[in-house]
Amino acid sequence: MTASPQSITADYEFAQPPHKVWRALTDSSLMATWLMPNDFRPVVGHRFTFRAQPMPHWDGIVNCEVLEVDEPRRLRYSWRGGAGEFALDTTVTWTLTPSVSGGTRLHLDHAGFLPTNAFALQGMEKGWRGHIAERLAQAVAEV
């Protein structure tokens, strides 16, 4: 799993075939057991919500719209959560690829924390954390 100011990505390998993983990703009641209670339907344009326990800084509601349904390869929905200054306007994309062993490689891309290309920061290729660590070290050295 990696994170940058633009997105969080994760790669998982499951022993189950794509059609089964697809079901877990798109069946509303199955989604409720591993993700959050929801009123999802695999129809492009369908607006739905995920509802979780409210937390500090978050009312527990994620407002979504289905953007892409390409069974059993790709699923994409918008992910808008938080209120006011904590508002988050992001996109979640699931990509499924059959693996040689008959299982599924699942790729998650949760993107849009900051507008794309917003950060052409120097040293970015070293990784976000490395960059921050560098800045912190500099800041400490300057004190």
Partner 1 sequence: MPAVGEVLKALSDPTRRAVFERLTRGEAAVKELTARFSVSQPAISQHLAALRRAGLVAERRAGRNAYYRVKGTGLRPLVSWIEHYQGFWLERLDRLQKLLEEMDS
For the chain, the straight-line distance linking the first and the last C-alpha, in angstroms and rounded, comes to: 34
8 binds partner 1 (CB under 8 A): yes
Contact call for residue 28 and partner 1 (CB under 8 A): no
**Cis omega before residue 72 (within 30°)?**
yes
b/e for 20-42, b at 16 or more Cβ within 10 A?
Answer: ebbeebbeeeebeeeebebebee
Of 43, 45, 87, 116, the one binding partner 1 (CB under 8 A) is 87
For partner 1, the closer of residues 45 and 55 by Cβ is 55
Copy the structure tokens of residue 124.
């970015």
3-state secondary structure of 20: helix
| Binding window for partner 1 (CB under 8 A); candidates: 10-18, 37-45, 66-74 | 10-18
Decide: is 116 part of the binding site for partner 1 (CB under 8 A).
no
Decide: is 1 part of the binding site for partner 1 (CB under 8 A): yes
User: What phi and psi values does residue 116 have, to the nearest 5 degrees?
Assistant: -55, 145
- Contacting positions for partner 1 (CB under 8 A): 1, 3, 5, 8, 10, 12, 14-16, 20-21, 23-24, 30, 33-35, 57, 84-87, 108, 110, 113-115, 118-122, 128-129, 132, 135-140, 142
